[in-house]
C-alpha cells in the first residue's frame, strides 16, 4: 500500500510541475526571441537605419547594383548595410545593440563563424542575383579597423547610449594608468635589496 501512495504522490508532483511549466510558457518571451509584434516594430524601425550607416561611413561599399525581380530595375535601397542589418536581426535573431553579436555577424561574412545559407539571405528572394557572394567579398575587402568602425557604428545606431557610456570609461581608464617616465632609468639591484622583500 505504501508504494501505491508513493507512486500517486510522484504522479501528482509531476502533473503539478507540468501544469506550472505549461502555464508560464505563454507569458514570457525567451531571451533572444521576439514576438511577432516586436519583429514588426523592429522591421519598421530598421528600414532606413542603413542610411545612417552610410552617413557615418561614406566609404562603406553600397553593393546596390542588383536588379529587383519584380520591377526589373536596379534597387538602390537594397544595400550591403541594409542586408547586413536584416541578416543580423531577422535571419540570425541577434540583438542589435551589443558589439559581440555584431562581431559574430561579421565573422559569419568572413567565413569564420556560422555558414550563411543562400536560401535565407536577405535579397536572395527579391533580387535576380543573390547578393551573398558580393556582400561577403565586400566585407572581406574591409580592413580590420574598417570592420571595427562598422561594428561600432552599428552599435551606436541601435544603442545611442553606448557611445556616451564608452567615452567616460575610456577617459577614466587613461587617468588611472600612469604614463611611464622615459627619462627615468631603472636602478640596478644593490647588496641587501633582497632583505627588503621579507616581511
Please, which pLDDT band fits residue 94 given cuts at 50, 70 and 90?
very high
Q: How far apart are CA 76 and CA 9, in angstroms?
A: 66
Give tens-digit pLDDT for 4-18: 666 666 566 566 655
Most confident of 10-19, 46-55, 117-126: 117-126
What's the grid cell of residue 116?
Answer: 550563411
Q: How far apart are CA 96 and CA 159, in angstroms?
A: 8
Q: Which helix (H) or strand (E) holds 7?
A: helix 2-25
Domain ranges of the chain: 45-164
Q: How far apart are CA 161 and CA 153, in angstroms?
A: 12
Average pLDDT of span 53-70? 97
Better pLDDT: 37 or 113:
113
Q: How far apart are CA 14 and CA 58, in angstroms?
A: 60
Q: How far apart are CA 156 and CA 160, in angstroms?
A: 5
For 92-136, the three-class secondary structure string (H helix, E strand, C coil) is: CCCCCCCHHHHHHHHHHHCCCCCCCCHHHCCCCCCECCCCHHHHH
For CA atoms 51, 52, 58, 63, the dihedral sign is negative
Lowest mean pLDDT among 9-18, 21-30, 50-59, 62-71: 21-30
Amino acid at each position: 500500500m505504501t508504494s501505491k501512495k508513493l507512486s500517486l504522490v510522484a504522479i501528482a508532483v509531476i502533473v503539478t510541475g507540468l501544469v506550472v511549466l505549461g502555464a508560464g510558457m505563454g507569458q514570457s518571451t525567451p531571451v533572444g526571441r521576439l514576438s511577432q509584434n516586436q519583429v514588426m516594430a523592429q522591421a519598421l524601425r530598421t528600414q532606413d537605419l542603413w542610411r545612417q550607416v552610410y552617413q557615418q561611413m561614406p566609404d562603406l561599399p553600397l553593393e546596390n547594383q542588383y536588379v529587383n525581380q519584380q520591377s526589373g530595375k536596379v534597387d538602390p535601397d537594397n544595400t550591403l548595410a541594409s542586408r547586413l542589418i536584416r541578416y543580423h536581426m531577422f535571419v540570425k535573431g541577434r540583438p542589435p545593440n551589443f558589439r559581440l553579436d555584431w562581431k559574430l555577424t561579421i565573422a559569419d561574412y568572413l567565413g569564420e563563424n556560422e555558414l550563411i545559407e543562400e536560401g535565407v539571405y536577405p535579397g536572395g528572394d527579391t533580387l535576380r542575383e543573390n547578393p551573398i557572394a558580393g556582400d561577403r567579398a565586400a566585407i572581406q575587402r574591409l580592413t580590420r579597423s574598417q570592420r571595427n568602425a562598422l561594428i561600432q557604428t552599428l552599435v551606436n545606431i541601435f544603442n545611442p547610449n553606448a557611445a556616451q557610456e564608452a567615452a567616460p570609461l575610456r577617459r577614466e581608464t587613461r587617468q588611472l594608468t600612469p604614463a611611464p617616465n622615459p627619462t627615468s632609468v631603472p636602478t640596478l639591484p644593490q647588496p641587501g635589496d633582497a632583505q627588503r622583500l621579507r616581511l
